[in-house]
Amino acid sequence: MNQNVNPTEVKRVPIVAAMLVGAFVGILNETLLATALPSIMNDFGIGESQVQWLTTAFLLTNGVMIPITAFLIERFTTRQLFITALSIFALGTSVASISHTFELLLGARVIQAAGSGIMLPLMMTVMLKIFPVEKRGAAMGMAGVVISFAPAIGPTLSGWLLEFFSWRGLFYVVLPIVIITIIIAAIFVKNVTEQTYPKIDILSILLSSFGFGGLLYGFSSITGGHGGEEAAAQIDSQAVAIIIAGAIIITLFIIRQMKLKRPMLEFRVFKYPIFSLSLIITMIVLMALIGAETMLPLYMQNTRGFTPLESGLMLFPGAIVMGVMSPITGMLFDKFGAKWLATSGMAIVTVTTFLFTSLEMDTAYSFLVIIYAVRMFGLSLVMMPVMTAGLNQLPPEWHPHGTAMANTMQQVSASIGTAILITVMTSAATNYQPDQAALEGLSEAEAMNHIASSAAINGYNSAFWIATILSIVGLCLSFFLKTKSQNDKADNKAV
């Protein structure tokens, strides 16, 4: 029988290592297929509107699972839940590696995400349990490596692997790592979370799944139109209707949670102002971050003609910076608190995002690499320090709900950010008015090519202007965070 142990007495290193690896491979798979999608399209004879569901379905399932995880953490032991989540993820990965139809591969991605959606909030909850407040910054800095480095390295890793293997090789690489992690977890992971055995509220699970799922699906589909302007407009109207329906269902879900004695997801966490502020800043950061991670690969491959590997390698130094800085930032947070790290980081993010508003057809590759890497340095100063500062405001019994809420809102904001920026990009490109003077002396083919390239560039630059505005809002909000000395004096009272 699995007995709970005192969280302060466990051997932290093996538990944290197992949790970090599990969460890493889970989040890595959000972007691992990014550069493999053209190969999958060719293999199965499908179009962009179908193949994009390999990513969208993964994010949707993640978004649905995360709110349920707070309930699962209170129902099952740490060891049971983590090994089960890893096993589900391994099953999905193995099925994906042998998939010979698109439908089977899509189903495998959903299975993968069902396991992945549990691992990240579980890891963050365990870290809050086993580390005292004064050491949480460093611990959450390690979590920041997973949250930020994994999706950043995904396109680079897949671009490199596709030079030597088919897209199935991406799953062959991940599967042995997951199996080894299951073995390590079975030996070293202890039960550090408390089981209160809440009753299963089927209505809450249904409202959560359809509400968050609908919201994420709507924003993921809002720019997914193919087949001309009429088809695109039709899909847009359907997506808007789904978003509205999702928002209504989430409202009903929140009302029900506020009435339940033991809610599935505790919305009372928003009574803590620093937690609420931290979550808003984190969501804004992710929406701005998506600007670079979505727009730059599109700009490089579709407009500039770079290969997927070259595009992935452009992002690689930034991923390394984020990976190196996350634990360092955690230690700085323990010493100085979140406020000055966040304001400095948001200032860097704002300036570097602004620099991406002037992309051209001849923008230097080195410029893209350097500015992106500096931008990731700024983001490393913001993400985990701000979120850790918010979670530290919550009482221990609400940590599972705080981490579940944070991760859910991050998924939603990433989806919303992508939809907004792609909408701005496509709209600005469609409405572009060419400079007639620049077309003089060009043949008809050359003029058409010039207009298409200029329209695309205008779209990317417009999207980065929106990302810049978001960054400025985040910078302004970061000044309302507390310094370490202010936090030490505060009583962490809810409003």
Helix (H, G, I), strand (E, B) or coil at 403: helix
Q: Quick check: 40 and 51 in contact, CB under 8 A?
A: yes
Output the six-digit token pair for 159: 């671009």
Q: Quick check: 338 and 279 in contact, CB under 8 A?
A: no
305 sits in the region (left: phi over 0; alpha: psi -120 to 50; else beta) called: left
Q: Quick check: 148 and 385 in contact, CB under 8 A?
A: no
In DSSP terms, 191 is beta-bridged to 4
φ/ψ of residue 4, rounded to 5: -75, 145
Helix (H, G, I), strand (E, B) or coil at 472: helix
pLDDT in tens, the chain (495 residues): 445 656 556 678 888 888 888 888 888 887 788 777 778 888 998 876 677 778 778 877 887 787 788 788 888 999 999 999 999 999 999 999 999 999 999 999 999 999 998 888 888 888 888 888 777 777 777 777 777 677 767 777 887 888 788 889 899 999 999 999 999 999 988 888 888 777 888 898 899 888 888 887 787 666 554 444 444 444 468 888 988 999 999 999 999 989 888 887 788 889 999 999 999 999 888 887 766 777 787 788 778 888 877 887 888 898 888 888 878 888 888 888 888 999 999 999 999 999 999 999 889 999 999 999 999 899 889 988 898 889 888 888 788 788 878 877 877 777 677 777 877 887 888 888 777 766 777 777 777 887 888 888 999 999 899 999 999 999 999 999 887 655 554 444 555
pLDDT for res 7: 59
Output the six-digit token pair for 120: 């990240």
pLDDT for res 48: 63
Please state which of the four CATH numbers 3.40.30.10, 1.20.1250.20, 1.10.287.3510, 1.20.120.160 is assigned to the domain occupying 1-198. 1.20.1250.20
d(CA 197, CA 201): 12
Closest C-alpha among 242, 248, 186 to residue 218: 242
Burial of 396-411, coded b for 16+ CB within 10 Å and e otherwise, reads: eebbbbbbbbbbbbbb
Q: Does CATH number 1.20.1250.20 belong to domain 269-495? A: yes
CA distances 133 to 260, 343, 347, 392, Å, are 30, 22, 27, 7
Q: What is the pLDDT of residues 233-264, one digit of tens each?
A: 444 688 889 889 999 999 999 999 898 888 87
d(CA 300, CA 311): 6
Other CB atoms within 10 A of residue 229 CB: 9
Q: Quick check: 246 and 218 in contact, CB under 8 A?
A: yes
Report the interhelical angle of 444-478 vs 273-298 (nearest 10°): 160
Other CB atoms within 10 A of residue 183 CB: 12
CA angle 290, 72, 95 (to 5 degrees): 65
* Chain centroid to CA 23: 12
In DSSP terms, 4 is beta-bridged to 191
Q: Quick check: 341 and 333 in contact, CB under 8 A?
A: yes
The owner of tokens 């890595």 is 28
* Eight-class DSSP state of 191: B
The residues near 84 (Cβ < 8 Å, ≥ 6 apart) are: 76, 115, 118
State the virtual CA torsion across 69, 70, 76, 80 in degrees, nearest 10: 40
d(CA 398, CA 419): 31
Other CB atoms within 10 A of residue 472 CB: 18
Sign of CA dihedral 155, 160, 161, 163: positive
Tell me which long-range contacts 50-54 makes (C-beta under 8 A, separation of at least 24): 50/102, 51/102, 52/224, 53/106, 54/105, 54/106, 54/109
| pTM, to two decimals | 0.76
Output the six-digit token pair for 267: 């919305």
356 sits in the region (left: phi over 0; alpha: psi -120 to 50; else beta) called: alpha
Output the six-digit token pair for 260: 């339940």
Output the six-digit token pair for 357: 């508003």
Helix (H, G, I), strand (E, B) or coil at 387: helix
Helix (H, G, I), strand (E, B) or coil at 4: strand
CA distances 163 to 35, 121, 158, 166, 173, Å, are 11, 34, 9, 8, 14
Q: Quick check: 102 and 69 in contact, CB under 8 A?
A: no
d(CA 454, CA 359): 10
